[in-house]
Amino acid sequence: MWFMSSAVLALSTSIILTASNGQADLKNLKENFNEELKIAKRYLCKELGNQRQSLCYERHLRFNQLNAMIRSNNASPNSSVALRFYPESLLSGEEFQRMRTGYIPQKITRVIPFRKRPTKRTAEEYLNYAEQGLVTPVKNQKECGACYAFTALSVLGSAFLRKFGKTTDFSEQQGIDCTFSRYDVRMNRGCHGGHPYYVLLYAKTKQFVSQTNYRYHNRLQHCNIVEKAQTVSLRAGVVESDGSDEALMQILRKMGPVSVAISVGDSDFKHYGGGIITQCGTVPDHAVVLVGYRVSDDAEGSYWIIKNSWGTKWGENGFARIRMGACNISEDRPVAVILK
């Protein structure tokens, strides 16, 4: 994978992203991101060396396609999302999926019972655990297809915050290394994908150490933890749901942040810079943390709030808003953890 020059990154990240609160903010985001395209083009081939000519041609070809697509979207007053060029934008759909996603669907038999209750919905309703200080900081999985580990440990971290008021920094590298198996289909595949449940299953009996003591290297390593019994009793599994938005909202209110699967594929999701996403792919391939929602019948409408694992420079400081009904968020059963 190639990286954009530090100069262009410094210039592009000088724009501070905040959740847009109206059409004016969204318009400003689009204009700023269009300016970034001019900067990025200057640095496409800077570090190529001996392979400069052939690779440079490929990069410019791909960049020109992206340039047209991003500008077309950002010029449309009907688009609810601002698209942005990132260093990873030139990856093919297959490359991006391999390096930046990592969710593998599994038939999880451990189910947490949940019954949807009749609810009198108010005209407007808003929940955001991140604003309540109950979500751990956004991290970056880099070029390792291990979204499952980041999502699982973010959910576990939120559970600790809700129960103990204690901020944790669990090691994703431990989650990758120590749930890996080349042969057991009930385990994960390192940087080649996995399922959040198996990380939480490991956490039921083994104690996670901090990021400081087991640093992230964005590649699979040997599990080198001296095994200790987990001192906190927890329950993990997929939550029984009828696949409706209402059920997922009730689960979120009761259990706190949960892991959900969405479809990124070769969609515009990877170019997301702000606003409300309305389209994704159809096959779940990426795990994210659902941290909130908004229900309203105004112009912005109803949407989910998710936390991603692509760093704070992506999206709205590492978060995104997704229109309810898009990306199949409600259809797959969420993964939750309950501390006893």
Active site residues: 147, 286, 308
Q: How far apart are the first and last CA of the chain?
A: 43
**Residue 329, CB-side half-sphere exposure with 13 Å CA sphere:** 30
Q: Are strands 319-323 and 335-339 parallel, antiparallel or unpaired?
A: unpaired
DSSP symbols for 110-179: -EE----------S-EEEETTTTT-SPPP-B-TTSB-HHHHHHHHHHHHHHHHHH-----B-HHHHHHTT
Distance between CA atoms of residues 33 and 27, nearest Å:
10
Contacts of 164 (CB under 8 A, 6+ apart): none
The angle, 0 to 180 degrees and rounded to 10, between the axes of the packed helices 52-75 and 23-41 is 160
Exposure string of 122-132, with b = 16+ CB inside 10 Å and e = fewer, is: eeeeeeebbee
- Strand, helix or coil for residue 49: helix
Each as own residue / partner, the long-range contacts of residues 54-60 (CB below 8 Å, 24 or more positions apart, any chain) are: 59/2, 59/90
